[in-house]
Structure 1
Amino acid sequence: MGGAILTKALLIIDYTNDFVADSGALTCGQPGQAIEKAILSLANSFLEKNQWVIFPTDLHQKNDPYHPETNLFPPHNLKNTWGRKLFGKVNNWYQKNQENSHVYFFDKNRYSAFVNTNLENYLRSRKIDELWLAGVCTDICVLHTAIDAYNKNFKIVIPQAAVASFDPQGHQWALRHFKNCLAAKII
């Protein structure tokens, strides 16, 4: 007997102008831009197979005294700004496919896409049990999402060509951590 068929979702994490564009407020620049083609290829592949493409996207208020990132980073991904829009061709892909019932964009306000959101309920209600994580930054939001996914017993796949960081050492460390500590499949 073969194993159970897994229902998959692709999470494209924080792929916004502020995190990817050259002039973004907290950009990883060229490494983030270099993964655009891989992200688009994955998004198309998932949608063609009636699998889910999910966009957990950072949303902040300027100078929010109650948010811990206010003292760590410059203002970024502020509501109704250019910086919060999805970057480049990924934004075009989203605009074209946003009405598809298998495409879901939602706000998050912490590193992990699971904290303070309905993501787990969304996934469980659709019987999704395997998460492919793409986007930025490998060693921050992708990492924290992966840790929560692992702790919630989701299978994790990290397409190496679809994650990036502004910190090359942090990126490499996170890839090892995904594999060695979270049992993620790195492809």
Structure 2
Amino acid sequence: MKALISIDYTYDFIASDGALTTGHAGQAIESSIVKITQSFIERGDFVVFAIDAHDPTDVFHPENVLFPPHNIINTQGQNLYGDLNQLFHQYQSSCQVYWMNKRHYSAFCGTDLDLRLRERHITELYLTGVCTDICILHTAVDAYNLGYKLFIYQDAVASFDPIGHTWALKHFQHTLGATIL
């Protein structure tokens, strides 16, 4: 069984005026992400939206000193970007689509993601979203350590940093044994 993990494709990370935007790099992958997500939904596969979620009153969160405020819970900045937001709202009541707030880079850290995947007998994870060298990378490392087989859509991941993006794609393949699609 397989699942798609769509990571952090939100307004704050993608829109030109987003609080911590990847800008054009993130915007350029929108059609690929939407097409891939639609195909997973149509096949009846499990689709997880693992979304960065910050509470501005959380003074202990380490990202508060690393990055400007972004993806604040219940704000436009945390909404999915563009056509992906429309697709999510179309299928959000389906049991095959799951929205998951995450506090850390990895979609596994401090969440019930592993439990939800295992109860569905999922062994293969397909990753899309941003940032290739931050949240995608940390999620992939945790997935690898948990024994999942990894697939990364090269045309559906992006980063602020082109060098970091390229490095992460090589790391996925050569260190984590991921298949780059």
Report if TM-score (shorter chain) is over 0.5.
yes
1:162 is paired with a residue whose SS is strand
| Alpha-carbon distance, 1:62 to partner | 1.5
**Aligned counterparts, 1:40-55, within 5 A:** 40-55=34-49
The secondary structure found in structure 2 opposite 1:159 is: strand
Superposition RMSD in Å = 0.7
What TM-score, normalized to structure 1? Answer: 0.95
Partner of 1:122: 116
Pair 1:70-2:78 in alignment: no
1:54-109 alpha-carbon deviations (Å, 9 max, x no partner) = 10001001253211000000000001111011001000000111011110001100
1:165 pairs with 2:159: yes
Aligned-partner Cα distance in 1 for 2:35–2:26:
15
Give 2:104's aligned residue. 110
In structure 1, what residue type is equivalent to 2:133?
D
Q: Which of the numbers 166, 174, 179 marks the counterpart of 1:180?
A: 174
Equivalent of residue 5 in structure 2, options 6, 11, 20: 11
Give a deviation string over 1:136-182, Cα, whole Å, max 9, x none: 00000000000000000000000100000010000000000000000
Query: Where has structure 1 moved over 3 Å in runs of 4 or more?
Result: none
Comparing 36-45 with 114-123, greater Cα deviation is found at 36-45
Number of residue pairs the alignment of both structures matches = 181
Match for residue 14 of structure 2? Answer: 20
TM-score by length of 2: 0.98
Deviation at 1:47, TM superposition (A): 1.2
Q: Equivalents in 1 of 2:58, 2:95: separation in Å?
A: 33
Aligned to 2:95: 101
Q: SS at the partner of 1:183? A: coil
Percent identity (aligned): 53
**Matched residue type, 1:161:** D
Instruction: Give the gaps of 5 or more residues in structure 1.
Output: 1-6
Distance 1:16 1:169 in 2: 22
Cα distance change on mapping 1:26 and 1:63 into 2, 3 Å: farther
Q: Which amino acid aligns with 1:97?
A: Y
Tell me, yes or no, if structure 1 residue 151 matches structure 2 residue 145.
yes
Match of residue 134 from structure 2: 140
C-alpha distance in 1 between matches for 2:11 and 2:42: 26
